[in-house]
Amino acid sequence: MPTLTLRGKVIITGEIEAVTGLHIGGAAAGLDIGGIDNPIIRHPVTREPYIPGSSLRGKMRSLLDHHLGKEANHFIQRREPVVRLHVCEDEAAYTRCPVCQIFGVTPGERRGWKNLKPARLIVRDVHLARDHEATERLRQAKTDLPFTEVKWEAAIDRITAAAVPRQNERVPAGAVFAPFELVYGLYDLNGTGCDRDLDWLRYVFKAMELLEDDYLGGYGSRGAGKIRFRQIKVEFKSRRYYEGEVALETLAERIDDVRQLPVSEYITRLQQLIREG
């Protein structure tokens, strides 16, 4: 029988700043504030906007697929609009693929694979930063709707110049969501170690960097959705930490540029900590 041993978890936290207006769509039927063609998603209790972990994780995976040139070979939805993504179909490809290793594959028919591991990356929902000056400014601002603006756009007929207006709800630029939390698990399968998991950790930071130069949510090609990761902190919880024997290990703190994260230093330090248990 296979044995899977958790060797520790890397915890990446910080803030997400909306550099431009942010639109992550929600269901119009679920909103009681009428008149908006394209509402955003809101917390069902506080009614505040938030960033679903699924949106953040899905965009990071998509950008990493593009960066590594992965084939979109798996249909999520065959009817229009067709939705496809990359999923390794054989075990040999999976063993070499950082995308499927980090973000996971649906077990299903892959249950017989000997090298199948759990998805390494967990991405939490991110809420508006409590007690942050940016949130207080937003709370006091006279916006069109609570915490959001209504942006008017118009499609222009190229022949008659007739305009068809539409309304998009957005979180204004400058809003801060915090804390974001990414949890990266390190697993040892059948005593083979977790050096490859450590090596693939750099792709998590690569996906964050790619996302900063792309957009999150909708209407990105029209200016919305630019974000920036700030105050990034990287910590490690080893097996001994969970047993109450050692303190939390901080690997990096308060870094505002993903590109400045010394990933190679983490890996060396993490290898040492894992050897210590």
pLDDT digits (tens, 9 = 90+) for 135-189: 999 999 888 888 999 988 888 989 998 998 888 999 999 999 999 999 999 999 9
pLDDT confidence of residue 110:
75
Angle at 52 between CA 48 and CA 57, to 5 degrees: 155
* C-alpha–C-alpha distance, residues 87 and 103, integer Å: 10
SS3 130: coil
Model confidence at 27, pLDDT cuts 50, 70, 90, reads low
| Cα–Cα separations (whole angstroms), residue 149 to 113, 143, 198 | 49, 6, 42
Q: How many alpha carbons fall within 13 Å on the CB side of residue 126? A: 27
Q: What percentage of the chain has pLDDT greater than the value 70? A: 96
- The string of pLDDT tens digits covering residues 85-125 is 899 989 999 999 999 999 999 877 677 888 899 999 999 99
- The string of pLDDT tens digits covering residues 227-253 is 999 999 999 999 999 999 999 999 999
Task: Give the residue from 219, 225, 272, 237 showing the smallest Cα distance to 122.
Answer: 237
Q: What is the mean pLDDT of the chain?
A: 91
140-149: long-range contacts at Cβ-Cβ below 8 A with a sequence spacing of 24 or more?
141/172, 143/172, 145/33, 145/36, 145/169, 146/33, 146/47, 146/48, 147/48, 147/49, 147/171, 147/175, 148/40, 148/49, 148/172, 149/21
pLDDT confidence of residue 34:
54
**Higher confidence at residue 81 or residue 71?**
71
Model confidence at 28, pLDDT cuts 50, 70, 90, reads low
Q: What's the sign of the alpha-carbon dihedral 184, 86, 80, 218?
A: positive
Compute the average pLDDT of residues 243-268: 92
pLDDT confidence of residue 265:
84
Concatenating the DSSP letter of every residue in 243-270 gives: TTSSPPEEEEEEE--GGG--HHHHHHHH
pLDDT confidence of residue 35:
65
Q: What's the sign of the alpha-carbon dihedral 6, 10, 15, 19?
A: negative
* Least confident among 33-37, 122-126, 241-245, 267-271: 33-37
Compute the average pLDDT of residues 3-29: 91
Token readout for 181 is 């939390």
SS3 12: strand
206 has pLDDT over 90: yes
226 has pLDDT over 90: yes
Concatenating the DSSP letter of every residue in 218-244 gives: S-GGGT---EEEEEEEEEEEEHHHHTT
Concatenating the DSSP letter of every residue in 134-170 gives: HHHHHHHS--SBTTBEEEEEEEE-TTT--EEEEEEEE
Tell me the whole-structure pTM to 2 decimals.
Answer: 0.91
* Least confident among 32-36, 43-47, 211-215, 218-222: 32-36
pLDDT confidence of residue 264:
85
Residue 217 DSSP label: S
